Structure 1
Amino acid sequence: MYTHEKNIKTQGKPLTETGKALIMVHGRGATAASILSLASELTIEDFTRFAPQASQNSWYPYSFMAPVAQNQPALDSALELLSETVENIKGQGISSGQIYFLGFSQGACLTAEFTSRHAQRFGGICILTGGLIGQEIALSNYQGNFEGTPVLITTGDPDPHVPVSRVEETVAILTEKGAKVTKKIYPGRPHTISSEEIELVKMILKGK
């Protein structure tokens, strides 16, 4: 089992110029560079982008719906790396309301889990094919209130990794914690990011 080194790639203008941060979390087998490459499709020049890199290109070894203990210590280490990323951004004078998240697949699951454990008014959260982590969802892990944070959550139906049932459970918890959730289920869509999802992400990032 493994933990993650602090390795965060950055892209774009400095925070002192943009005043807004987008934390981008890659999927299993991918890289920080690959998720950052989405920037060209998202037209996000007015954001400073931060992309943590997972050791071994994976945030945790097994399915996100495996018992949590099987994914330790990698899972806790991944959550801590996201926490360090957020604290680094806040330390540069950026409020949580100007911090946005985008994760795909395993990165989407990690994004959902981290933000729910630290719920507050974020700028926006895009959970692209993902849901909360664990064989059973442990409600006691989730603290705070999203205070109206806009959240986009998606999956395919069926998706080989993310069942619609877990997305539905996640939506219920995020809503109960004060998020304003947009859910999209795409029949027959492969495990990828569709052009419609890109457009919906742009709306979240523009605050629409």
Structure 2
Amino acid sequence: MAETLHQGATAQTARAVCVVVHGRGQTQQDMIDMILSRLDVADVHYVLPKSAGEAWYDAKAVDPLEEGTTRQLNAALDAIGNCIDAARQDGLPLVLIGFSQGACMAAEWLMRGGKVTSAALLTACRVGAVQDDLVRADLAGLPVYTTNGDDDPWIPLWAHRKLVGELSECGARLRMDIFPGRGHEVSDVEIATLSEMLEAAVAGHRALEAAS
């Protein structure tokens, strides 16, 4: 994995940590421009991992899990998990944000037992085809914000809804937004909800409380 970037408050002064995972063909700077630059939340230390290549894995999200894809997926999840573990600070809330393929990676990491305070999966689905037997973890009330466009070119709406169903069955506490006509981007509504989640983390409150 390429070098991890750090933004926002220093690790020493932060009151919350946020790991932001980019999508296919994107960079950490894309996440800074698309998300971080539009947030106005103090005291958050942002950690941005970077895939070794142009993507975390080569296949499309809803392609069958063949041997090569599984190998790439496992390696990428290990790299992201190591980044998240390195970002942890005792006593500080940890928020996980992913966009597009990065959101798919975040979803898979959570479904394999990864632990965070709250998570936002922006334009996400599970990695694999309908027939694949995908692992599930007990999410035990984890606040998760999920979004998609109604005609996204990369993440089919049916696949996003399947993810939402699995998250709910695993015990996550969900807010879901579907945006008619939204491009493959992060909308102002998503930024506003991310801000609320981060402000809750900084204040030590439970995220998405109003939507519960």
Paired position in structure 2 for 1:104? 99
Paired position in structure 2 for 1:135? 129
Paired position in structure 1 for 2:76? 78
| Whole-angstrom CA distance in 1 between matches of 2:76 and 2:83 | 11
Percent identical pairs in the alignment equals 28
SS state at 2:53 partner? helix
Superposed CA RMSD in Å reads: 1.8
Query: TM-score, normalized by length of structure 1?
Result: 0.87
The question of 1:159 aligning with 2:155 is answered no
Structure 2 residue runs without a partner (length 5+): 201-207
Query: TM-score, normalized by length of structure 2?
Result: 0.85
- Which amino acid in structure 1 is aligned with residue 136 of structure 2? Y
State the Cα distance separating 1:62 from its structure 2 match.
1.4
| Whole-angstrom CA distance in 1 between matches of 2:133 and 2:49 | 25
| Whole-angstrom CA distance in 1 between matches of 2:91 and 2:55 | 28
Query: 2:30 pairs with 27, 34, 47, which one?
Result: 34
The question of 1:146 aligning with 2:144 is answered no
Q: Is the 8 A contact 1:124 1:205 kept in 2?
A: no
| Whole-angstrom CA distance in 2 between matches of 1:146 and 1:44 | 26
The question of 1:56 aligning with 2:53 is answered yes
Query: 1:173 pairs with 166, 169, 182, which one?
Result: 166
- Which amino acid in structure 2 is aligned with residue 8 of structure 1? T
The question of 1:199 aligning with 2:192 is answered yes
| Whole-angstrom CA distance in 2 between matches of 1:119 and 1:177 | 13
Matched pairs, number: 198
Distance 1:76 1:82, change over 3 A: same
State the Cα distance separating 1:204 from its structure 2 match.
2.0
Query: 1:47 pairs with 35, 44, 47, which one?
Result: 44
State the Cα distance separating 1:186 from its structure 2 match.
1.2
Distance 1:119 1:84, change over 3 A: closer
